[in-house]
Amino acid sequence: MTTALITGGTSGIGAAFARALAARGDDLVLVARNADRLSEMATELKERYAVSVETIAADLAVRDEVVRIAERLASPEQPIDLVVNNAGFGFRAKLTAADTTPHEHAIDVMIRAVLMLSAAAGRAMRQRGAGTIINVSSTASFVTMGGYSAIKSWVTCYTESLANELHGTGVKIVALCPGWVRTEFHERANINVGWIPDFLWLDADQLVADCLADAAGGKVISIPSKRYKALMMICDQLPRRTLRAVSRKLTSSRH
């Protein structure tokens, strides 16, 4: 019996992970802030897939609440086999803004919580010699488009470093780097998506299936879809100054 813990498992990519994992028979632990949505999701999954679903309402921007989730991950009586550090959000804030709190809030949720939860899960899994940690990064981690890009660059680099640290222990580590996915993400962050062509949108269920296949196959970086794999290969070859110029253009087209 496998148990998976998913942060942000009530919406978008996290909900797609929850459904895919429940469909294959995994028990789940779902973490998010909104308790009503957590219990709706738990009811849906229990009725549809007959799995057990535990819910923990927690705000991952609050350190003590992250500690609570880390303690759940460390439990030897109720081990967690798969962790998806997925909770996150988009935000637009100038790097030179006088008020840096939007950046700090994003760092708390998408860096500090990922660090603390991966560390707790990594320790427990290394001891058992098995387990999988999937950190949801973004293709934004390969470009230079503001605070969000910088945070996701950290997630990708950190996850590759974690894979090195746990190499040979039996623990699988994956950085999932999706392109644009239709979820609540853009509306919540008030991001204009009108200019994004249809072919650049990914399907959440498909990308989760691709990511789980990559995890099973031992891949450390999972970039779902051939089109994004090709785009990221091009990004990788560009001189940094060209990449910055492209990033500048993309950033200004979002406003």
Ligand X SMILES: NC(=O)c1ccc[n+]([C@@H]2O[C@H](COP(=O)([O-])OP(=O)(O)OC[C@H]3O[C@@H](n4cnc5c(N)ncnc54)[C@H](OP(=O)(O)O)[C@@H]3O)[C@@H](O)[C@H]2O)c1
253 CB-near residues (< 8 Å, 6+ apart): 195
Gap between the Cα atoms of 247 and 227, Å rounded: 18
Judged by CB, which is closer to ligand X: 77, or 190?
190
Number of residues that bind ligand X (CB under 6 A): 28
Q: Is 196 helix (H, G, I), strand (E, B) or coil?
A: coil
Gap between the Cα atoms of 92 and 247, Å rounded: 14
Segment near ligand X (CB under 6 A), from 87-95, 166-174, 212-220, 224-232? 87-95
Q: List, in sequence order, every residue forming a beta bridge with 202; answer none if it has no partner.
A: 181
**Is 158 considered catalytic here?**
no
Segment near ligand X (CB under 6 A), from 3-11, 120-128, 166-174, 238-246? 3-11
Segment near ligand X (CB under 6 A), from 33-41, 121-129, 216-224, 227-235? 33-41
Segment near ligand X (CB under 6 A), from 11-19, 44-52, 166-174, 225-233? 11-19
Residue type for position 212: L
CB of 218 to ligand X, least distance (A): 22
DSSP string, 91-152: ----TT-S--HHHHHHHIIIIIHHHHHHHHHHHHHHHHT-EEEEEE--GGGGS--SHHHHHH
Under 8 Å between Cβ of 27 and 18: no
Judged by CB, which is closer to ligand X: 49, or 180?
180
Q: Is 69 in the site for ligand X (CB under 6 A)?
A: no
Residue type for position 6: I
Judged by CB, which is closer to ligand X: 87, or 171?
87
Q: Is 154 in the site for ligand X (CB under 6 A)?
A: no
Query: In the numeric block, which tokens belong to residue 250?
Result: 């993309």
CB of 123 to ligand X, least distance (A): 22
Site string for ligand X, 193-232 (x = CB under 6 A): ----------------------------------------
Query: In the numeric block, which tokens belong to residue 154?
Result: 């950290």
115 CB-near residues (< 8 Å, 6+ apart): 158
Q: Which of 181, 212, 221, 223 binds ligand X (CB under 6 A)?
A: 181
Gap between the Cα atoms of 203 and 209, Å rounded: 10
Judged by CB, which is closer to ligand X: 77, or 199?
199
Judged by CB, which is closer to ligand X: 14, or 146?
14
Q: Is 109 in the site for ligand X (CB under 6 A)?
A: yes
Q: Which residues are catalytic?
A: 148
Footprint on this chain of ligand X (rule: CB under 6 A)? 7-8, 10-14, 32-34, 37, 59-61, 86-89, 109, 136, 138, 178, 180-181, 183-185, 188
